[in-house]
Structure 1
Amino acid sequence: MRHRIHLMVSTAISVALLAGAAEAQTTIEELVVTAERREQSLQDVPVAVTAFTSEKRDLIGINTVADMTNFTPGLQYSSQLDRTSLRGVGRLTNVHAADGAVAIYNDAVYTSSTVLAGAKGPIFVDRVEVLRGPQGTLYGRNSIGGAINVVSKRPTDEMSGEIRATYANYNRTVLEGAVSGPTMIPGVNFRLVANWDKQTEGWIENIVPGYPDEGNIIDTKIVEGQLSFEFNDNFEGWVSVSLLKWDNGGGGPGSRQTWTPAPYPTYSSPIAGLVMNPGYGCSGIPTAVVNASPMGCVNPAVNDPRKIASTVPYKVRLEDTVVVASEWIYHFDNIDLKYITGGTRYHYYLRGPTPVDQTAPITSYTLPGGLVINPRYEFDYQEIEQWWSHELNLTSTHDGPLQWLGGLYYFHETYDQPVFTEMKSQAQVAGPFGVPGALCARTFGVCAPNANQRIYDNRPHLDIESSAVFGQIDWEFAETWKMTLGLRYSKDKKYGYEEVRVLCFAVAACFAAPELNPVIPGGIPVVDLTQLPTVVSSPAAGTPLPKGVSTYTTYDPASGFARRGYDDSWSAVTGTAGLQWEPDDDTMIYGRYSRGYKAGGYRIGIDTVLGAAPFTDEETADAFEIGMKKNFANLQTNVAIFHYSYQNAQVPLTVASTSGGLAQAQSIFYNIPEAISQGFELETIWQPIDNLQILFNYSYNDAHITESIGTVDPADPAALDPQARPVGTTTTTDVFTAGVPGGGFQRGQNLDGQHLPNAAKNKFAINVNYTWEMADGGSVTPSLSYIWRDEQYGSVFNRSYTLSPSWDQIDARITWLMPGEKMKIILWGKNLADEIGYEGGATGLRRAGVVNRNTLAGQPPINVVQGIASTYPLTPPRTFGIELQYKFF
């Protein structure tokens, strides 16, 4: 890695020296942003901001949000999970009852997803602005980590149009086109743009014959139409409508983009009737009944991170998606009145194998008594979302020393997030069930049928309302000094319900007690667990309800579902105070305090079973930042030093079930009492001579916990890892570690000093580009980038199994602009060395296998812990291609 850094620096210096004969120096182009809700030069904004124009994205090759993370200090993004964080403050769950920490604005309209920031490329977007740190006044909706503004290209007064086409390896084709100009109606202009992106060969090879490869298998379409209106000199408006559709295989958010190199579970020899599949890497073992441990089965991912063995392919769809954004402005004398409104409706659909399906080498096995088990689980996850927001603000527009902005805000979101796991290959799961009276007493002794063959079914529904009033003043009280003060009051309310049903099939714990044994002829091992207190939290009538829970649990005899309600609200006063000094036209030094807030929420749906502690408190952060923005003759330098006191970080945890009985693992939210995020960030643009530009940024981020005691590691509940710091023993037993020194119980840990997840301590990026101007009027611009990112953890438990290593990447592009500037050809390559990169830290989970009970004759096998498996989120492999752009107006 040091050799690569030396090579990049040497290349940059060499290019500068070779071209040093040219004495004329260029001026770095001024970039206008709307980071503080009014147009300003980037260098005049007293906030740490990174901005990417469409031209800059084309030049460097910033096509996705993941690419933006390389050139934005402190920014981290998981394209698989659609989670964003800034300076260690971010989202750690996809449960929509808990909000993201980084506010995303699509043309000033709040959205709960980052997808559009990357899905819409330079042909759609004029610029993307990343505001680092809490934006407690003007971007108050859950902007405790920061805000990302996506600003679209707008309709033009004159006709313009272009088409773009890209072909890349893995048989990827991208077709795009845009046209803009005036309509037949005076004062009304339009813009129409469309994109089709299709890839048919996956980054991840599936070795199972007849099953598809995965990894960015996509077929996505976007169409966007805009109209702008200039009614008169005072009144103008704009509206945008976007339609999106995905019909992907194993590609897109939610699909497989990870690497789990752990071996398959080892299965004990007493399992009679074990049928192996040589297509899973079990070479040398025939597809037949075997009674030996299948040690010949090798997980293909052990030696190759881009190979899998799966008979349950991922499927990603996005349907019925409409995105609307609109703004209307009336210009009074010295004041603008602006109304911003818009929203989104979509139906996201994901299907794939469940994490508990760790039986990849096995096609079937036979229980004592002759029952054949086909261990194939499939999950179905959906998001059915719609939200709409309204913002009304007044902004001063005069040239005086006192500028101000004030406004009102309202947001409403309705969502359903159903998820279920089914066994379509196992007809017995449909019922009937064993001992109805014992397990279905809450539904009058009758167990409802299960025709859809789902063993886990959770259907949450929630409404979210957020309202706010805000204001900010900027007072230039002296010729070179300016003061900023801002306040915002926010109130959030979340209410709804959750329905869940859980079944148990062919698991020994279902039959631990004689009264749970099947009485149905043939011994079908299916029981309904929904009504057991060890599975579903159900406080007795008259007892206190858990915080945030609004109703007692009820049971529907027709469907078998348990249901309970939720209702709670949060509020906060946030704001900012800053001082800004501009000693000359090229220097700005600022100090700023901001208080950030993110509403509380619930851990419901996805992987929960009406847990006993679903509620989470709100997050807050007190952030202090000093910075300098300086323009030299040919060098632009932006520096920021920051320190956060971060309270109640919302961390999802799964409290492991370790008793070996019917108790279910409980998924909860845990609030980390206190954490700190502090660091240093540097961004520079150096233009030493005509046509040569060198971009460099570096960030140091120390984000760690300062107070947290008693938390149990889901992957290591007994705290046996050498790095664990146990602080006590709970009353919960852990039968899986009984007999091991220190085992037999769950033990909480002291997390003081543990790094926050997905926050690399160091990262830097450099880009060197030089433009050769041709005599015929064209130009050729080579561009070379080097990115390096430090190791990072994927959990608050900093262990070897949650650590992703450091990594680096080299990208290159050559842009040839033809004479007349109508046609452009770009040859590009990313990750040229084909290195393994990591989007975030790893996750560690207990790896289970099947062994015979050997305690009572005739008992079926049970799952046991066989170690901890690490799963790493990967960046793409080496990709390369050619892009053609043609402007026909």
Structure 2
Amino acid sequence: MKSIQRLKWASLACTGMVALMSTGTAFAADAPPATADDIVVTASRTASFLSKTPIAMTAVTGESLAKSGIVNPTQLDSAVPNLTINRSNGGLQITIRGVTSTDNTEKGDPSAAFMLNGVYIARPQSQEVAFFDVERVEVLRGPQGTLYGRNSTAGVVNVLSAKPKFQFGGSLEASYGNFNAFNMTGVINVPISSTLAMRAAVNYDRRNNYVIDGNPGDHVSLNPFKDNISARLSLLWQPTDALSFYVVGDYSKLKGAMDATVPPGNFYGNIITGARSTFEAPTFLDRTSADYRTLSNVQNQQSRRNNDDKGVMGEINYDLSHVRLTYVGSYRQNIRDEIYNYANGAVMAYFPGTYWQTSHELRAALINTGRLQAQVGGYYFEEQSNITLHLYNLLGPNLDYLFLRNPTIAVNKSVFGQATYALMDNLKFTAGVRYSSDTKSRYGSTAIDSYTSITNAYQLGTFLGRATQESTAARRTFSKTTWRLGLDYTTPLGLVFASVSTGYKAGGFNDGCEVGTGPGCNQRASALYYQPETLTAYEVGAKLRFSPAMRLNATLFHYDYQGLQLSQAAYICGPNGDLLCQITRNAASAKVDGVELDAELRPSENLSVHLAANYLDAHYAQFVPEPGVNFAGRPLDRSPKWTATVGFDYGMPVGDGRLVLSGQTRFSSRYEMADMATYAYFYQPAYTKSDLSLTYTAPKDRYFVSAYIHNIENNVVVTNATAGFFGLVSFGDPQVFGARVGVKF
């Protein structure tokens, strides 16, 4: 099997390289010149200033990320409004303006598209390894289907790694902090010739667990939580002004322990479960950070992660007079080898799995054509996986409860186009459309294996036999046409824009198979399959500059959200309907309304101030999961009504260098989380998190030295909570502090 995978990898990589040699130009061609107080972005698939781009988005440069000490995506919420990125064993869960996905299995699609250099990354487990040697991060809020990869209902997080440059240089940066956190990145950039440049970057990222081992007597270590090494090699070839080739290959080895949750009793008392017409919340306990984070349960086995993630992508741009052709192709593979504990240590699990994905996108854009700008393109995406989940001794001594899924396949075929026409010198009209077809299938079974003994995932006795409980067989095709209409007007103060756009996420299927189609098949079609979710977004906004010392961005939006896909664990599978599995179903509808405001002030040459305030009302309009339970008016998960940020940078010269003191406080009002499996209604009380850093930068940026502290209050924030036998709480970063140093050459 490994040799077949290597051959597949080699053949697809060669195919991508042949395609790269036959199409054609550099994405950044015709980019506007950079300025000291604006950022060049590619949100509209062409280079433009952030202040001139009629999309609700935030762009953060790699320099700003480094200055703020942001070294992973979960910390982006401090810089991006209405964004939450949580980490779990299933990877990253991204929530934008209250829209999210809780299905991180091999069949699930995230509501927010995570992209690396414009390439969609399907598996949440592969999304964190890209976060080093970053040029910038662009976060687009709202549906972006007419231009970006697979459709997304929530928005896009696009991480852009630094491209090779035609000058020799390099850097070495390292940080060390509490929790024995060590992060180091080395970069070297080499101009091989006047037309060819290479960039290589290596990152090492290690830290201990935020969870405290409260039962060392079980002889199971929770550390290190992360022990990752990643490498990236980039090549940029520009043989002519009209033609460029950009190729990136990356590899990551991901290791560490996986026990990163605690029992719900650490945070909550008086937890009420069961279907009911009322929504009693438990008591949020007033405890110390260490008390919240202590895992006292016996862990029945040593958890560990030993995963590989690798990929290759290529982008070609070729100018033909008034047309630019762009091809983006990629292939990625993720191998998971994980041993961990469910139910806070009570259930031992082993997860081996292999995933691969390939995508191909071809676009043609009009350039230098006066009033009309337009793009058309086609997109193909395919993903396959082969996984097994073993749950040991859950159903009885020496029994292995297995979920075998081989293969799970997802194919997306899309065509799209978008055009912008200048009705007047300052007034532009935009229209876009996309047709998407998604085919999903999964085959396999649920079984119970018997052994003479099962001590843990590392120690299995003699295999005795297998009893297949249920077949897994499902296949469906979904299709949808989505569109976008927009107007933007440039005033003396800046840009004003309005848009209506639609988003779509394909439907899917649950575990099991339809009645009458195989042994143990007991699912009705209405229960086995769930439908697509759709979203219509109405938005008006402004990006204004009142003076060199004051900028203001404002956005007002309303979402009509239909068919929300909600996932939960439930005992409904198997021949008798009493085996555990995950199910997804559609909620009827939801409404999302909000206002986003952020301002940049520069009262003096040395002082800059950032102010932001966001209002979000995200709630179910109609949803009755079962008789007597009505969610109408209830808030969507992880959707605080109010968030606000106050930040500053104060710089002063020190000799020929510069010393900068930076600080910010982020406030979030209360938000709620519903465990749909048990009908327990958890919440996170209002909180603040404050950060502070002090950085000295030497003349000509030759080196820097920085000290930082994040979450000064040491508030431990709940990001996910469930009840029952498998109940757990996931939480955000506690107080972290440390120092960073870096040199450039």
Under a length normalisation based on structure 1, what TM-score does the superposition of the two structures give?
Answer: 0.71
Distance 2:531 2:466 in 1: 35
1:117 offset after TM fit, Å? Answer: 5.8
What is the match of residue 415 of structure 2?
469
Name the residue aligned to 2:276: none
The equivalent position to 1:805 in structure 2, one of 675, 679, 685, is 685
Q: 2:408·2:440 contact (CA, 8 Å) conserved in 1?
A: yes
Shift of 1:455: 3.1
- Alignment counterpart, residue 334 of structure 2, candidates 339, 346, 350: 346
Note the C-alpha offset of 1:662: 7.6
Aligned equivalents of 1:778, 1:482: Cα separation in 2: 45
- SS of 1:63's partner is coil
577, 585, 605: which one aligns with 2:485:
577
Q: Is structure 2 residue 69 aligned with structure 1 residue 99?
A: no
After TM superposition, list the pairs within 5 Å mapping 1:704-783 onto structure 2.
704-709=619-624, 711-712=625-626, 727=628, 749-774=629-654, 776-783=655-662
What residue is the counterpart of 1:54 in the other structure? Answer: 62
Question: Using the alignment, how far apart are the partners of 2:443 and 2:120 within structure 1?
Answer: 24
Equivalence for 1:593: 500
- What is the alpha-carbon distance in structure 1 between the residues aligned to residue 616 and residue 739 of structure 2? 36
Quote the Cα distance in structure 2 between the aligned partners of 1:149 and 1:696.
24
Q: Which amino acid aligns with 2:386?
A: D
**What residue in structure 2 maps to residue 384 of structure 1?**
354
**Residue 117 and residue 386 in structure 1: after superposition, are their counterparts in 2 closer, same or farther (change >3 A)?**
closer
Q: Is the partner of 2:646 in helix, strand or coil?
A: strand
CA contact (8 A) 1:106 1:325 kept: no
Give SS of 1:30's match: coil
Give CA-to-partner distance per residue, 1:600-656, whole Å, 9 cap, x none: 112339xxx977223110111111001111012111211111111111000113445
Superimposed CA distance per residue, residues 40-70 of structure 1 (whole angstroms, 9 cap, x where no aligned partner): 1111111100111011112223222221112
Amino acid at match of 1:132: R
The within-5 A match list for 1:412-431 is: 412-423=382-393, 429=398
Decide which of 791, 797, 802 is 2:670's aligned counterpart: 791
Give yes or no for contact 1:98–1:600 (8 Å, CA) kept in 2.
Answer: no
Which of 202, 206, 214 is the aligned partner of 1:198?
206
Displacement of 1:140: 5.2
1:361-440 residue pairs with structure 2 within 5 A?
A: 377-398=347-368, 400-423=370-393, 429=398
Instruction: Give the Cα–Cα distance (whole angstroms) in 1 for the partners of residues 556 and 602 of structure 2.
Output: 25
Matched residues in 2 for 1:115 and 1:70: separation?
22
Amino acid at match of 1:89: V
Which residue in 2 is equivalent to 1:532? none
Shift of 1:215: 6.9
The one-letter amino acid paired with 2:428 is: K
**SS state at 1:57 partner:** helix
The Cα shift of 1:208 comes to 2.7
Measure the CA separation in 2 of the matches of 1:55 and 1:219.
24
Q: How does 1:464-863 map to 2 (within 5 A)?
A: 464-502=410-448, 560=468, 562-584=470-492, 586-604=493-511, 612=523, 613-633=527-547, 634-655=549-570, 663-664=578-579, 667-709=582-624, 711-712=625-626, 727=628, 749-774=629-654, 776-795=655-674, 801-838=681-718, 840-843=719-722, 845-847=723-725
Alpha-carbon distance in 1 for matches of 2:307, 2:116:
19
Q: Mark the CA change 1:559 to 1:313 in structure 2 (over 3 Å): closer, same or farther.
A: closer
Q: CA deviation at 1:699?
A: 1.6
The 1:558–1:261 alpha-carbon spacing in structure 2 relative to 1, beyond 3 Å, is closer
Look up the equivalent residue of 2:610 and give its one-letter code. Answer: L
Task: Give me the whole-angstrom Cα distance separating, in 1, the residues matched to 2:357 and 2:600.
Answer: 39
Alpha-carbon shift at residue 171 of structure 1 (Å): 1.8
- Correspondence for 2:322 among 312, 328, 334: 334
Q: Pairwise mapping of residues 251-270 of structure 1 onto structure 2 (< 5 A)? A: 255-261=259-265
Question: Are the aligned partners of 1:300 and 1:307 in contact in 2 as well (CA < 8 Å)?
Answer: no
C-alpha displacement of 1:684 = 1.8
State the number of aligned residues: 669
What is the distance in 2 between the residues matched to 1:603 and 1:795? 20
Residues 202 and 751 of structure 1: is their aligned pair in 2 closer, same or farther, counting only changes over 3 Å? closer
The one-letter code sitting in structure 1 at the alignment partner of 2:482 is: T
Of residues 718, 741, 745, the one that matches 1:884 is 741
Tell me the CA shift for residue 698 of structure 1. 2.0
Q: Tell me if the contact between 2:116 and 2:130 (Cα under 8 Å) persists in the aligned partners.
A: no
Q: Which residue of 2 aligns with 1:280?
A: none
CA separation in 2, counterparts of 1:653 and 1:425? 20
Identity score, percent: 24
Letter matched to residue 785 of structure 1: Q
Shift of 1:318: 4.5
2:252 pairs with 223, 231, 244, which one?
244
Tell me whether 105-114 or 40-49 shows the greater mean CA deviation.
105-114
Q: Which amino acid aligns with 1:638?
A: N
Offset at residue 200 of structure 1 (A)? 4.6
Q: Which residue is 1:871 aligned to? A: 728
Q: Distance between the aligned counterparts of 2:289 and 2:370, measured in 1?
A: 64
Which whole-Å CA distance do the structure 2 matches of 1:457 and 1:390 have between them?
31
Cα distance in 1, alignment partners of residues 99 and 299 from structure 2: 37
From the CA coordinates, give the structure whose radius of gyration is larger.
1
Q: Residues 305 and 317 from structure 1, CA distance in 2 versus in 1: closer, same or farther, beyond 3 angstroms? A: closer
Q: Choose which of 99, 119, 124 in structure 2 pairs with 1:109.
A: 119
Task: Give the direction of change, closer, same or farther, for the CA distance of 1:462–1:756 in structure 2 (3 Å limit).
Answer: same
Q: Give the superposition deviation at 1:305.
A: 3.1
Contact 2:415 2:436 in 1 (8 A): yes
Distance in 2, matches of 1:176 and 1:302, equals: 31
- What is the alpha-carbon distance in structure 1 between the residues aligned to residue 700 and residue 107 of structure 2? 53
- The one-character-per-residue Cα deviations of 1:264-295 (angstroms, maximum 9, x if unpaired) are 99xxxxxxxxxxxxxxxxxxxxxxxxxxxxxx
Distance 2:617 2:419 in 1: 32
The answer to whether the 8 A contact 1:138-1:471 is kept is yes
Residues 209, 202 of structure 1: CA spacing in aligned structure 2 closer, same or farther, 3 A cutoff?
A: farther
State the shift of 1:399 in Å. 5.1
Aligned mates of 1:355, 1:225 — CA distance in 2: 41
Aligned equivalent of 1:717: none
Secondary structure of the structure 1 residue equivalent to 2:588: strand
How far apart are the structure 1 equivalents of 2:606 and 2:267? Answer: 53
Residue deviations 1:848-872 (CA, integer Å, cap 9, x gap): xxxxxxxxxxxxxxxxxxxxx9633
**What is the letter of the counterpart of residue 624 of structure 1?**
Y
Corresponding residue for residue 174 of structure 1: 183
Q: Aligned in 2, Cα 1:193/1:264: closer, same or farther, shift over 3 Å? A: closer
Tell me the distance in 1 between the aligned counterparts of 2:737 and 2:288.
Answer: 26
TM-score of the pair, normalised by structure 2: 0.84
Q: Which one-letter code corresponds to 2:177 in the other structure? A: A
Q: Map 1:116-127 to 2 at 5 A.
A: 118-121=128-131, 123-127=132-136
Aligned residue for 2:67, secondary structure, equals: helix
Aligned to 1:42: 50
Distance 1:48 1:755 in 2: 23
Question: 2:222 aligns to what SS in structure 1?
Answer: coil
Kindly provide the amino acid, as one letter, of the partner of residue 88 in structure 1.
G
Distance in 2 separating the partners of 1:213 and 1:884:
30
- 3-state SS of the aligned residue for 2:412? strand
Secondary structure of the 2:58 match is strand
The structure in which a higher percent of residues are strand is 2
**Closer, same or farther in 2 for the Cα pair 1:565/1:761, shift >3 Å?**
same
Q: Do 1:778 and 1:819's aligned partners in 2 also have CA atoms closer than 8 Å?
A: yes
Looking at structure 1, the residues matched to 80 and 122 of structure 2 have their Cα atoms a distance apart, in angstroms, of 21
SS at structure 1 position matched to 2:608: strand
Instruction: Tell me, in whole angstroms, the C-alpha distance in 2 between the residues paired with 1:404 and 1:241.
Output: 31
Task: Specify every segment of 5 or more residues in structure 2 that has no aligned partner in the other structure, as ranges.
Answer: 1-34, 270-286, 452-463, 513-519
